[in-house]
Amino acid sequence: MKPRLLRSRAATVGVCLVALAGAASCGPGGAGGAGAEGAGGAVRETGAAPGTSATPRTEAAAGALSGDQLAAAALVTGDVKDFAAEPLEGGVPTGSSRTSKPACMPFVSVINGTPQPAPSATVFRRLVNTSEDGQADQTVVTEVLGAHPSGASDVLPRLRSAIQACADGFTTKGGDLEPSAFTAVKELPTPQVGDEAIAYELMGDAQGDPVPMVFQVVRSGTTVVTYYAVDVTGDDTPQIPAQLAVAQAAKLKS
């Protein structure tokens, strides 16, 4: 069964994921996407890595893409059939969640929007299947591109280690938010794309309701791209269409 991913709420997931609130305490967004520019969902760079300037960088560091280059390499409407690329609603996530289980921190860093080692520039996009407009189960995937001047090859091994260490779950806490619980972690079939890739599911718990979250993380050279989808109904494991990562990896390689 296809996941019933409600776009009205999925629109806010990128900003609210940190609290797991994604499903619980963030209000629904407009069906048209308040941050979209034009009917086609034009893309723009929404900011750099949390804690850095939101101004696009103009110089690459140690072979990594600059902010301008990263924005230019991100998927745009038309790169993948039936998918529109839009700005991320609500601004750039600036998560500060932490966990008392250090082995699980790689997952929390991804949720925060800053896979470790931290990127020098970050670009956020929302990828929406326009052929499903008006459907309750419309496919919405958040894409996060990070430029890593050093340590890009360390990101995925850390996540692999965390999958083994955190299979029984973990909790997070950030700022004034209530603790968030993730009850299980499991590895998923790995997409055959980029220089290396990994996929996993985090099972969240939002006030007693299950919230399945699926992540794909793909490294292409010094760029690490994360895709995630959330089923706010808790019914099914979300599916991330393989063609998104394939098209993005090809664009980064060109």
CATH number of 123's domain: 3.40.1000.70
Q: Is the pLDDT of residue 65 over 50?
A: yes
Round to whole Å and give the CA distance between 142 and 173. Answer: 22
Q: Is the pLDDT of residue 105 over 60?
A: yes
Q: CA neighbours within 13 Å on the CB side: how many for 218?
A: 27
Which secondary structure element, helix H or strand E, spans residue 162, and what is its range?
Answer: helix 152-165
94 occurs within a structural domain: yes
164 occurs within a structural domain: yes
2 occurs within a structural domain: no
The answer to whether residues 48 and 146 touch, using CB atoms and an 8 Å cutoff, is no
pLDDT band with cut points at 50, 70 and 90 for residue 254 = confident
> 21, 186, 10, 17: which is closest to 93 by C-alpha?
17
More confident residue, 211 or 92: 211
More confident residue, 148 or 42: 148
Q: Is the pLDDT of residue 1 over 60?
A: no
pLDDT band with cut points at 50, 70 and 90 for residue 233 = low
Report which DSSP code applies to 254: -
pLDDT of residue 234: 62
Instruction: Look at the chain and count its residues.
Output: 254
Round to whole Å and give the CA distance between 211 and 47. Answer: 27
Distance of CA 217 to the CA centre of its chain: 9
Question: Beta partners for 191?
Answer: none
What is the domain range of residue 119? Answer: 7-253
pLDDT band with cut points at 50, 70 and 90 for residue 89 = low
Question: Beta partners for 171?
Answer: 181
Q: How many domains does the chain divide into?
A: 1
The angle, 0 to 180 degrees and rounded to 10, between the axes of the packed helices 105-112 and 152-165 is: 120
Round to whole Å and give the CA distance between 89 and 33. Answer: 7
Percent of the chain beyond pLDDT 70? Answer: 70
Of 41-50, 149-158, 175-184, the poorest mean pLDDT is in: 41-50
Q: Is the pLDDT of residue 3 over 80?
A: no
116 occurs within a structural domain: yes
55 occurs within a structural domain: yes
109 occurs within a structural domain: yes
β-bridge pairing 223-230 and 140-147:
antiparallel
The answer to whether residues 189 and 242 touch, using CB atoms and an 8 Å cutoff, is no
Q: What is the mean pLDDT of residues 90-103?
A: 77
Q: Is the pLDDT of residue 132 over 50?
A: yes
Report which DSSP code applies to 79: S
Round to whole Å and give the CA distance between 143 and 177. Answer: 24
pLDDT band with cut points at 50, 70 and 90 for residue 28 = very low
pLDDT of residue 62: 55
Mean pLDDT of the chain: 77
Phi, psi of 144 (to 5 degrees): -125, 120
Of 33-47, 67-81, 124-138, the poorest mean pLDDT is in: 33-47
Q: What are the residues whose beta carbons fall under 8 Å from the beta carbon of 113, sequence distance 6 or more?
A: 49, 50, 92, 93, 94, 95, 122, 124, 144
β-bridge pairing 223-230 and 209-220:
antiparallel
1 occurs within a structural domain: no
236 occurs within a structural domain: yes
Q: Is the pLDDT of residue 71 over 50?
A: yes
3-state DSSP call for residue 111?
helix
pLDDT of residue 235: 66
Phi, psi of 226 (to 5 degrees): -110, 135
Which secondary structure element, helix H or strand E, spans residue 245, and what is its range?
Answer: helix 242-253
